[in-house]
Structure 1
Amino acid sequence: MKSQPSEPGPDSVSRDPAAAGAGTEAPPSPLRALAEPVQGRLAVAVALQAVAALAGVVPFIAVSRIAGRLTGGSPAGGDVLWPLVTLACVAGLLALACGTAAGALAHLADNELQLTLRRRLARHIGRLPLGRLTDKGTGEVKQAVQDDVSALHTLFAHTLLDVVAVLTAPLLALAYLFTVDWRLALVSVVPLLLGVFLFSRAMAGAVAQMAEFGAALGRISAAAVEFAAGIAVFKSFGRGRKAHERFVGATEGFADFFSGWVRATLVTSTAAVLVVAPAVVLLLLSVVGAVFVTSGWTTGAELVPFLLLGPAVAAPMGVVGPRIQQIRAGQAAAVRITALLHTPTLTEPATPAVPDGHQVSLRGVSFSYDGHTDVLRDVDLDLAPGTVTALVGPSGSGKSTLASLLPRFHDVSAGKVTLGGVDLRDIPATELYRRVGFVLQDVRLLRASVADNIRLGRPDATDEEVERCARAARIHDRVLDLPDGYATELGTAVTLSGGEAQRLSIARALLADAPVLVLDEATAYADPHSEALIQDALSALAAGRTLLVIAHRLSTIRSADRIVVLEDGRITEQGRHDELLAARGRYATLWEAQRTAQPDRTDGDPGRPPAPTAVARAADDIREGSAR
């Protein structure tokens, strides 16, 4: 697929290999790149946290010195002790002040980073092709905007300072202990080295195990969805006990895998935690220190600092597991956020053009989702103003893809689509969506009032205009039944049925009043009562407009001005209903297959023509308007 170059901006990056290799330095990691706007404040926070950690060790050193003066046999008057007491108090207050300042500064920097990232994401997502969002769904966007940004908060506001603290304090403690007795200092390092060794053994193969862990969870999720979706079918055929077998098998498989993983690492991981536990380190130093004291190799006063500071030397290993997990989670979140920010956006024209009329033309259009396999090939098609054109064909023939090019859900890989003689890529997005509207089967309503949902295309519309369009869309009476009428907020305690939501979206399209309309047959899954109301609403919406219809039931497009048959991404037939039946081609085959499988909804007389559908009535309305 030939993608259009994105407009240069703060959210875009060069994808040119030559440009990437032009510099001598490798590009920064995604994490560093995202943190760049606040890296100065984070550096200051790290420095303050380091000072706080170092200052936090000083009171212990002062206490050990006091203990030495008190037990050393020499006079220990106030002139000797008070300076040490003062030092301990000042250092403690300094640690408290610097730690508080570091936490506040890191949180302020993180708050600004979250705001900046979410604004960048909102701007960038607003410029993405709509097809990119509908294909991937909203899960990716939600994860980036909410979950991943929150993961960065944990990393920058908490984990970063914790890592600085647990690495800095032991260094000062160990340095001081070496000045007291280098032999006992070496003993205090033994638990740390042993913890590192055991932890590395426990983590051996963790990458592969984590991959299998994720795959096992995925199998459980897939089995759960299948279980929930298919249980009714299984029960209908008397196989209720079979419905949950795959789910149970997946959960048992996960339990076996996880139990095996835990058993394989239980001894080493538990040992890694135990050898650096403060109680174990204190016990080791007490026993070895007692031997040293009784042997005359050191004094009791010299043992005191090891009992106070020795456990702090091995402290980092006690928290390394959770911190590593948080760092990895932050790095993964940064990668996902960066990938979304680097997704190519729709190009905005350097010299915007305004269409002259509403003639739609496709010339030599080809399109591919992956850049390799063309879904559409060399499509030529004209949509004359005030006509109804229907797209039909077997599943996977490219109907929805072709229709998605008109509202520019995607850009073509080859050829061009024009509106009023102007390439869609040269029309500003705001101007394009004033002229091209769409009504799809999958209706999206905002968590806002009914009136605001209808006003989406025209925020300045009056209440009278909103009500008029709601009446035309056959949704006015249902709105009045809601607790607060048009002021009722949707998405909370109030929800609409599928047919009601569809009619609300039709009211929205009526208010927007776009002269070109793309219609994915909205009644395909509606019940008969909803279908009748939706067809009435669609008839009001389609009258007088240029209409492109994706037809699933051929009986709904018999009166269309032109029926276009797509097969394997190519137009193989086009004409009116009677002409295509007479040609005895693919359309006639599809028509006969649908008539055999599901007769038109009539009163039971196979010779009687079906009731006029929304498209049929729209075609009649358009022709009558043209005749007048």
Structure 2
Amino acid sequence: MPPRMGRGQGPVEKPADLGKALSQLLDFCRKWIPGVIVALVCGALGAVCQIVGPDKLKDITNEIAKGLPALVNGKPVIGSIDMGAVSTVAWTLVALYAGYAVLNYAQSWIMATITQRNAQDLREAISLKINKLPLKYFDKVSYGDVLSRITNDVDAIGQTLGQSLGSLITSITMFVGALIMMFVNDVVMSLWAIGCSVVGMVLMVVIMMFSQKYFVRQQVALGDVNGHVEEMYGGHIIVKAYSGEEDSIRRFEEYNQNLYESGWKSQFLSSLMQPLMMFVGNLGFVAVCVVGAQRAMNGDISFGVIVAFMMYVRLFTQPLQQFAMAFQNLQRAGAAAERVFAFLGEPEMAAEPTQAELLPAVAGAGTGAHAAGTKTAAGTGVSAMAPSQRAELLGYDAQGNPRPVKGDVTFTHVSFGYEPDKPIIHDFSATVPSGSKVAIVGPTGAGKTTMVNLLMRFYEISGGSIAIDGVDTKSVPRWNVHDQFSMVLQDTWVFRGTVRENIAYAKPGVTDQQIIDACKAVGLHRYIASLPAGYDTVLDDNTALSAGQKQLLTIARAMVQDAPILILDEATSSVDTRTEELIQKAMDQLAVGRTSFVIAHRLSTIKNADMILVMNHGDIIERGTHEELLAKGGFYAGLYNSQFALTD
């Protein structure tokens, strides 16, 4: 029977170009094509075994009919059943149905293996693609959309390949084979059976077309209900505070009623499919019996033909139902493939000129890991490079010997825009000596965070250059630039794992003592020691950390990273004053001996900065120390005084 689209499933999303989407999917799966062909051949041969079965049942029936008692001159004459012939046909049937079972098992096993391997390849391709996409892609596409492509879309493709493709070939073989066998046995009965099936298919298509609009309404209503519930529970406190419960309930009841009406009609119409097809099938059986009996009485056919036809009618109508299901699944897979391959076709970050000779990919972050010769995806480590190659990296001298990165940073006429015709950074120049603390301040949208992203090569600059220790960051791989930085951001990131794993994230060779020392330095050790398993406690929903504790954990992570340049981006903006003092002390200790870039809206936290860069509309409009800028009485002084005026 056709698929019954229940609550939440809705109509099938149609791809813009089904042929192109399936062609891309076929090209991606080309290494699995031989296996798919073997599986489809097994399915087709299994269908042939099933098709031949009714014809053999006809032979058994005819052999039995020959030996049944007959009336001659009013007296019963007992014939003799040829059990040898019956046994021969019976064993042939056993062999056919056993072959059908084995071949279908082989098809299912092969297709299940191939579809899961292909789904694995698709997920790996998406994962690799994510690492190659520029951050500007995620500025316009939500993470939820990318996640949906990895999960829902890949699953839809896998299900179609695993189920619909095999069943489609089997159904076509069974449909054509049953049709041929029916005409071989009797043309008149074949036409009656086809006529009944056509009537059923027409009725089914009419009902599907009529019910489709209700499925669309059901999806819209379901979206309204989900959206309303999410909004109301997400802002539950606001709803309570403004006494909006009555309006919320009224709107929910309206959406719920719409969902009930559309859902009832769509489910009712969809539920008509099964009894309708059963009626058509039974009607076909009745037609076969009536017409067959008449022709058997006339001597046109044997009784066995009627038995065979009753099975062929089922084998003929069943594929017709499966075709509709397979077509819907192909549409769903085409839409999913279109989304997946559109993502895989997105423009990637510009290729790095030294990428082929250096490290195409890094298995593990951290300067120490590379200096120790960590293996990469290409099988090459830093210590395995030629000295001329190592000299091109940050942290190596001209002879290819390791040396510490000091952290001198130079911006020279840097310009940048997220869109080519809309520059954000116009002409940024600054020199930051190693070990100094630089604060970047300015109003929202001034370009502060953008400058940090450019410094770390998350985005490529449009003009000018950025150099670390005199080395242009464009001349070295991105991972080599990233290794020079530790970051503490406003939005803390703690993943499901132990405290130890969170602190030593992506840093090989970290000792337990280093982790403990970092936690002691930020004042987090005592709390961690009080946890049930200490540093081996898994951070999940059952182990809650406050906002301040999460921030201290990320600072400890930055300490363990031990990079020469530190970035602090609004790291204390979401905590209370007392916690801010603790975090500030931890960050001051973290910044010792490192070049630090601090982005802060609370100007009181950057009074001790060696240099303050005041940005507005993508340009540096003032620079100097806190006292120097206040003495100028310019833009910075206005920002600073306005904050204290608001505080007072």
TM-score range with shorter-chain normalisation? 0.7 to 0.9
Kept in 1, the 8 Å contact 2:179–2:316? The answer is yes
Aligned to 2:49: 55
Q: 1:215: Cα distance to partner?
A: 5.1
Q: 1:437: Cα distance to partner?
A: 1.9
State the alpha-carbon separation in 2 of the partners of residues 213 and 589 from structure 1.
56
Select which of 323, 327, 332 maps to 1:329.
332
Amino acid of the residue matched to residue 130 of structure 2? Answer: I
Structure 1 residue 153 corresponds to structure 2 residue 147: no
Deviations 1:45-64 (A, max 9, x none): 11111111111222222102
Kept in 1, the 8 Å contact 2:211–2:265? The answer is no
Q: 1:502: Cα distance to partner?
A: 1.4
Amino acid of the residue matched to residue 601 of structure 2? Answer: H
> Partner of 1:459: helix, strand, or coil?
coil
State the alpha-carbon separation in 2 of the partners of residues 75 and 292 from structure 1.
25
Aligned to 1:170: 175
> Partner of 1:417: helix, strand, or coil?
strand
State the alpha-carbon separation in 1 of the partners of residues 458 and 215 from structure 2.
37
Structure-to-structure mapping, 1:543-554, within 5 angstroms: 543-554=592-603
Aligned to 2:393: 354
State the alpha-carbon separation in 2 of the partners of residues 302 and 142 from structure 1.
56
Deviations 1:365-403 (A, max 9, x none): 444445554444443344332223333333333332332
> Partner of 2:539: helix, strand, or coil?
coil
TM-score normalised per structure 2: 0.78
- Aligned-pair RMSD on alpha carbons? 3.4
Aligned to 1:500: 549
Select which of 181, 188, 207 maps to 1:183.
188
TM-score normalised per structure 1: 0.81
> Partner of 1:54: helix, strand, or coil?
helix
Kept in 1, the 8 Å contact 2:61–2:303? The answer is no
Aligned to 1:513: 562
State the alpha-carbon separation in 1 of the partners of residues 251 and 32 from structure 2.
49
Aligned to 2:591: 542
Deviations 1:580-623 (A, max 9, x none): 44555544443344333334xxxxxxxxxxxxxxxxxxxxxxxx
> Partner of 1:29: helix, strand, or coil?
helix
Distance 1:415 1:474, change over 3 A: same
Select which of 93, 98, 105 maps to 1:100.
105
Q: 1:299: Cα distance to partner?
A: 5.2
Kept in 2, the 8 Å contact 1:187–1:285? The answer is yes
> Partner of 1:456: helix, strand, or coil?
coil
Q: 1:227: Cα distance to partner?
A: 0.9
Q: 1:272: Cα distance to partner?
A: 9.2
Structure 1 residue 563 corresponds to structure 2 residue 563: no
> Partner of 1:314: helix, strand, or coil?
helix
Amino acid of the residue matched to residue 554 of structure 2? Answer: S
Distance 1:564 1:193, change over 3 A: farther
Distance 1:78 1:299, change over 3 A: closer
Aligned to 1:197: 202
Aligned to 1:379: 428
Which blocks of at least 5 consecutive residues in structure 1 are unaligned? 1-24, 600-628
Distance 1:574 1:277, change over 3 A: farther
Structure 1 residue 343 corresponds to structure 2 residue 346: yes
Aligned to 1:44: 38
Aligned to 1:389: 438
Amino acid of the residue matched to residue 395 of structure 1? Answer: T
State the alpha-carbon separation in 2 of the partners of residues 452 and 99 from structure 1.
47
Aligned to 1:312: 315
Q: 1:311: Cα distance to partner?
A: 1.7
Aligned to 2:65: 71
Structure 1 residue 466 corresponds to structure 2 residue 515: yes
Amino acid of the residue matched to residue 468 of structure 2? Answer: L
Distance 1:97 1:560, change over 3 A: same
State the alpha-carbon separation in 1 of the partners of residues 63 and 421 from structure 2.
81
Kept in 1, the 8 Å contact 2:214–2:263? The answer is no
Aligned to 1:32: 26
Kept in 2, the 8 Å contact 1:499–1:534? The answer is yes
Aligned to 1:618: none
Which blocks of at least 5 consecutive residues in structure 2 are unaligned? 1-18, 68-78, 359-391, 395-404
Aligned to 1:523: 572
State the alpha-carbon separation in 2 of the partners of residues 580 and 277 from structure 1.
88
Deviations 1:399-424 (A, max 9, x none): 32332222222223444433233333
Q: Percent identity?
A: 27
Amino acid of the residue matched to residue 50 of structure 2? Answer: G
State the alpha-carbon separation in 2 of the partners of residues 323 and 391 from structure 1.
59
Amino acid of the residue matched to residue 102 of structure 2? Answer: A
